[in-house]
Amino acid sequence: MPASEATQPKAQTMEVPSAEEIKEQPKPVEKMTVEEPVSMRGGGAGGLCCGLASTAAARRVEDDRMKRDGYPTVIPGVRNNASLSSLDKAQTLTEKIVQRYSLGLPQDKIVKSGDYVTLSPHKCMTHDNSWPVASKFMSIGATKVHDPSQIVCTLDHDVQNKSETNLKKYQQIETFAKQQGIPFFPAGHGIGHQVMIEEGYAWPGSVTVASDSHSNMYGGVGCLGTPIVRTDAASIWATGRTWWQIPPVAKCHLMGVLPAGVTGKDIIVALCGLFNNDEVLNHAIEFTGSEETMRSLPVDERLAIANMTTEWGALSGLFPIDSVLLSWLRYKATTAAMYESGTGSKDRFSHEIIENLTNNPLKADPGATYSKSLFLDLSTLSPYVSGPNSVKVATPLRDLEAQKINIQKAYLVSCTNSRASDIAAAAKVFTEAAKTGASPKIAPNVELYIAAASLAEQHTAEEAGDWGILLEAGAKPLPSGCGPCIGLGTGLLEAGEVGISASNRNFKGRMGSPDAKAYLASPEVVAASALNGYISGPGFYETPEGVTKVILGEGTGNVEADKATSIEEALAKVISEADFLVDNAQSSLFGEAEEATTKKDGAGLTEIVAGFPEKVRGEIVFCDADNLNTDAIYPGKYTYQDGVSIEKMAEVCMENYDKEFGSVIREGDILVSGFNFGCGSSREQAATAILASKIPLVVSGSFGNIFSRNSINNALLGLEVPRLVEGLRKQFSGEAKALTRRTGWTFEWDVSRSEITVQEGEGGAKWTQAVGQMPPNVQEIIARGGLEKWVKAEIGL
């Protein structure tokens, strides 16, 4: 859908280090609303991009919960259509930051959750996927990166791979970056996300994106970090901008102070495991708390928490720009001025820029609307362990410790928890053990692997003596990079082994064999487990007097405040919905009935563009699993092998979920799975491997947001039909469990009529349900084989 060519007022921008004034005024974004009872991933966002109904999906999760609790559901789409009342002008911190980096906004437009915007992010990072991004960039006919200072390239994922193929790819990336004038960090320098933090690229109050799912980590320094996919990155390289739909914003209120021996890693492991019903799925999270609470959480702990909001299901995890962060920034500015890094960090970390940030604080407005609020009392938290093989399972350490679960491998690696402070915490476990007379050595038959988040962090740990303590204990050092965390290189889990890691993701098969078990914990617990040979802690934690359980829940934890907020929000909702009904009375009251009538008469159907099917029909193959993640769909060990054939992709599709998947499916099948399908990493191959298996359509209860973007960008169709998932589960509940099941049911999507028909096997029930319209612009992208081919066609290549 082409947007208006009208000249728009220049968007507000925030003064950030090394930023250049945007000279070219882009076209404004054409917004869409999502009001269908069953969501289709699609919509119009103008420019090179198509819209996604991720906000609608997140709303439906909340609506389902409200239905179960006896509450009425909120009218979907109200936010985009309602005129702004005075109560609606207050913005969350997320909305304020997005406002500053949105282009082409109408005058006086205040962006809110649900709005589609054209973003010009402050920075965009790519890593080992830089060459595939460059290939996409060049294939669409682009020759010069729009703004080289906006881009950062790091090499971090497969750094142990010294094969000719990998070294050639690394050389291609470095050559391209230097030719284009893009800041480049070679293999061994550090994990990309850590580089973005320590080099000052992820700046407080900015929008900074990366073609990697753990971009959320930037929220630890008050930067709105969110993931994009490779095709989006190519668009930013070429144009300096991409599209984004502002997600619903959830507030996570932290209370109290952590007891001794409890860490930021324990906070996020507990949040993932205790709020494990998709409460924050596809949300932006803002962490809040009293000054005392926030002062107790240093930046390194915030980075670990923000990093794993990805595993919690969120699109970002934002901490406030407060005194703790400002003190950290001033320290960075001082050290950058004292020591020449050769990377220009002193220009980004300057006291002048930090003073400007101090004098112009950015924070949420009083009365800002949040889609939900959750709270956690830190003073009641104890050490927690995630797993095995799921972040949605979190167990108090004391319970697992009593079971004496033997381990074979332990890992102090990843961008989550391998900074100098984490290495120091692990080293302390061994030094304290030595004080008691115990041998400060790793237990027999256990291997401990360590890799710093960056070379700078390793040097700090070496100077402090902590790195040496771990080596003396028997740890095996690895180069700074992702390595075992993504299932690459030395030290992977073998079949039957148990491992415990300070990293962020323990999906089945992620760190090695699908037949291994992986747990996640803090650096202290990982070190203690390596020392003792079984999952255990260092004994630093003592249960505070009177604490019998973790206190957490919905709201802020303050009963009176929550009651007052509920009344205020109820009033705001009534006013907003009244505005909507008055402003849109004709379309709201008569449009739906008229549409139903015209469709019955054969008119008013969705226009089908050339090359797009009017109907999609096939037999249903059911993978009965919620949270079927991208590692399960396309194993990480293949992700950075750029030359994998279509046949090979089909062969390994779902390998970490069901090795028999390929022998069960047939060409043209409709794949149906559970809720939060495609959660996890940003790898595009999760979508393209399904296409390689000749499956044209995936139906689920809900989708992970990144998978949604990848699907449309790569021409894979998707529909959210919760009723179908529940129906299949009910039908086959009494039969033996099958990971991949041929159901005998058929599914037909009539695209022109925007409805689906399900035949529940021969002689079974047959039912029809409305779904959202497939907009012509999205049809066009899919009909042409994806966004990359669509762009080429649009520019005449």
Residues 200 and 294 in one domain: yes
The percent of residues in the chain predicted with pLDDT above 90, rounded, is: 66
Query: Is 584's pLDDT higher than 50?
Result: no
Q: Which of 342-351, 455-464, 507-516 has the highest mean pLDDT?
A: 455-464
pLDDT tens, 622-638? 999 999 999 899 988 88
Query: Is 646's pLDDT higher than 70?
Result: yes
Query: Is 110's pLDDT higher than 60?
Result: yes
What CATH number is given to the structural domain containing 524?
Answer: 3.30.499.10
Residue 486 has what pLDDT?
Answer: 85
Residues 279 and 419 in one domain: no
Query: Is 283's pLDDT higher than 90?
Result: yes
**Does 41 fall in a domain?**
no
Confidence of residue 249 (pLDDT cuts 50, 70, 90): very high
Point out the least confidently predicted range of 13-27, 706-720, 782-796.
13-27
Point out the least confidently predicted range of 224-228, 304-308, 345-349, 368-372.
345-349
Residues 401 and 374 in one domain: no
pLDDT tens, 659-682? 999 999 999 999 999 999 998 877
Residue 443 has what pLDDT?
Answer: 97
* Distance from C-alpha of 130 to C-alpha of 135, rounded to nearest angstrom: 9
Residues 250 and 338 in one domain: yes
Residues 153 and 193 in one domain: yes
Query: Is 568's pLDDT higher than 70?
Result: no
Cα–Cα separations (whole angstroms), residue 199 to 193, 196, 346, 348, 417: 10, 6, 9, 8, 18
Cα–Cα separations (whole angstroms), residue 12 to 15, 45, 100, 112: 10, 21, 5, 15
**Does 61 fall in a domain?**
no
Confidence of residue 562 (pLDDT cuts 50, 70, 90): low
One DSSP character per residue, 713-731 reads HTT-EEEE-HHHHHHHHHH
Query: Is 690's pLDDT higher than 50?
Result: yes
- DSSP 8-state code for residue 262: -
Instruction: Locate 422 and state its tokens.
Output: 């984490």
Residues 354 and 389 in one domain: no
pLDDT tens, 285-320? 999 999 999 999 999 999 999 999 999 999 999 999
**Does 22 fall in a domain?**
yes
Query: Is 586's pLDDT higher than 70?
Result: no
Residue 425 has what pLDDT?
Answer: 98
HSE at residue 231, side-chain half, CA atoms within 13 A, is 27
Residues 463 and 566 in one domain: no
559-567, long-range: CB < 8 A, 24+ apart: 562/373, 565/373
HSE at residue 540, side-chain half, CA atoms within 13 A, is 23
Residue 487 has what pLDDT?
Answer: 85
Query: Is 16's pLDDT higher than 60?
Result: no
What CATH number is given to the structural domain containing 716?
Answer: 3.20.19.10
Point out the least confidently predicted range of 82-91, 409-418, 581-590, 723-732.
581-590
**Does 603 fall in a domain?**
no
* CA dihedral (195, 201, 207, 211) positive or negative: negative
Q: Which helix (H) or strand (E) holds 396?
A: strand 394-396
pLDDT tens, 451-466? 999 999 999 999 999 9
Residue 42 has what pLDDT?
Answer: 35
* Distance from C-alpha of 653 to C-alpha of 230, rounded to nearest angstrom: 20
**Does 604 fall in a domain?**
no
Confidence of residue 601 (pLDDT cuts 50, 70, 90): low
* Distance from C-alpha of 674 to C-alpha of 726, rounded to nearest angstrom: 9
Residues 301 and 437 in one domain: no
**Does 545 fall in a domain?**
no
8 A C-beta contact, residue 486 and residue 506:
no
Helix segments in 3-77, DSSP class H: 54-68
Residues 244 and 373 in one domain: yes
- DSSP 8-state code for residue 614: S
* CA dihedral (638, 639, 643, 649) positive or negative: positive
3-state secondary structure 285-333: EEEEECHHHHHCCCHHHHHHHHHCHHHHCCCEEECCCCHHHHHHHHHHH
Q: Which helix (H) or strand (E) holds 410?
A: strand 409-412
8 A C-beta contact, residue 500 and residue 525:
yes
Residues 24 and 113 in one domain: yes
**Does 38 fall in a domain?**
no
- Between residues 42 and 715, the one the model is more confident about: 715
* Distance from C-alpha of 376 to C-alpha of 386, rounded to nearest angstrom: 17
- The number of folded domains in the chain is 3
pLDDT averaged over the chain?
84
Q: Residues near 491 by Cβ (< 8 Å), separated by ≥ 6?
A: 409, 411, 447, 449, 476, 478, 483, 484
8 A C-beta contact, residue 59 and residue 76:
yes
Residue 303 has what pLDDT?
Answer: 99
Amino acid occupying residue 153: C
* Distance from C-alpha of 400 to C-alpha of 57, rounded to nearest angstrom: 35
Query: Is 639's pLDDT higher than 90?
Result: no
* Distance from C-alpha of 290 to C-alpha of 366, rounded to nearest angstrom: 15
**Residue range(s) defining the domain that contains residue 354:** 1-30+83-380+554-583
Residues 658 and 687 in one domain: yes
pLDDT tens, 765-796? 999 999 988 877 778 888 988 877 876 776 55
Residue 36 has what pLDDT?
Answer: 31
Query: Is 274's pLDDT higher than 50?
Result: yes
Residues 525 and 622 in one domain: no
**Does 607 fall in a domain?**
no
Query: Is 232's pLDDT higher than 70?
Result: yes
Query: Is 416's pLDDT higher than 90?
Result: yes
- Between residues 517 and 774, the one the model is more confident about: 517
The percent of residues in the chain predicted with pLDDT above 70, rounded, is: 83
